[in-house]
Amino acid sequence: MIAIVDYKMGNLRSVENALKRMGAEFVVTADAEQIRRADRVLLPGVGNAAEAMENLRSAGLVDVIRSLRRPVLGICVGMQVMCRCSEEGDVDCLGIFDARVKRFVPGLEVKVPHMGWNSIGNLESKLFKGIEGGEYVYFVHSYYPELCPDTIATTTHGKMFSAALKYENFYGTQFHPEKSGDVGERIIANFLKL
């Protein structure tokens, strides 16, 4: 069973719909026991990283997430809270990935938020099996995880950042695979097969 963690960080519907389209069974839950028992855990999230950390704390899920041994996929803010810390609300995060989350500095060709389709490269994980470097995925964010030893995909928006991270059984994508067309569905399918 797949568990989608419901910690009140935005709408989970697009992730649910993607799993439905793929015929996968899932539960939407904030229950620690159900999350611990799940074969796969998805941690989506749209919004503010500090609020996301606060919500995980008040749901009693901080140590639960950290202690998971089966594949976990954080998406967008769900990935950012798995990093070391975030400039958004100046908050300490779960510290699973060794990256800090920083704010984009707007510039001539650097719109903030970074919104739309951008290409991913330097792909280094089974998560990207069957996907070529240069494929486009959909991003919407104003904060990014810096490059670090856990980086398994990169994207450039003004500067190069981590489009995806991996540490042991933990995975994270800054982009939204559930909104990234066929490429995104392939990435989710790969995650489910890990």
Partner 1 sequence: MVAKRIIPCLDVKDGRTVKGVNFVDLRDVGDAVELGQYYARGGADELVYLDISATREGRNTFTRLVERIADGINIPFTVGGGISSLDDAARLLDAGADKISINSAAIANPELINQIASRYGSQFVVVAIDAKCGDDGIWRATTHGGSRFTDLELFAWAREAEQRGAGEILFTSMNHDGTRKGYPCDTFARLAEELTIPIIASGGAGSVADIAQVLTEGRADAALAASIFHFGEITVGELKSELKQMNICVR
Q: Residue 44 Cβ, how far from partner 1 at the closest point, in Å?
A: 13
- Which span (53-61, 79-87, 107-115, 124-132) binds partner 1, by CB under 8 A? 107-115
CA separation for the pair 114, 104 (Å, rounded):
8
Sheet strands side by side (includes 100-103): 91-92, 85-86, 100-103, 143-145
Nearer to partner 1, 89 or 98 (CB): 89
What is the enclosing helix (H) or strand (E) of 119? strand 114-119
Q: Is 122 in the site for partner 1 (CB under 8 A)?
A: no
Where helices occur in the chain by DSSP H, the ranges are: 13-21, 32-37, 49-58, 62-67, 77-80, 181-193
The catalytic residue positions are: 76, 176, 178
- Which span (55-63, 83-91, 134-142, 167-175) binds partner 1, by CB under 8 A? 134-142
Query: How far is it between the farthest Cα atoms of the chain?
Result: 48
Q: Is 115 in the site for partner 1 (CB under 8 A)?
A: yes
CA separation for the pair 16, 5 (Å, rounded):
11
Nearer to partner 1, 24 or 32 (CB): 24
Q: Is 17 in the site for partner 1 (CB under 8 A)?
A: yes
Q: Is 25 in the site for partner 1 (CB under 8 A)?
A: no
Report residue 144 as tokens. Answer: 């990014």
Q: What is the SS3 assignment for 28?
A: strand
CA separation for the pair 24, 86 (Å, rounded):
32
- Residues 51-90: x/- map of binding to partner 1 (CB under 8 A)? ----------------------------------------
Q: Please select the residue that binds partner 1; options are 1, 168, 181, 193, rule is CB under 8 A.
A: 181
Query: Given the rule CB under 8 A, which residues bind partner 1?
Result: 10-11, 13-14, 17-18, 20-21, 46-48, 106, 109, 111-119, 136, 138-142, 156-157, 176, 178-182, 184-185
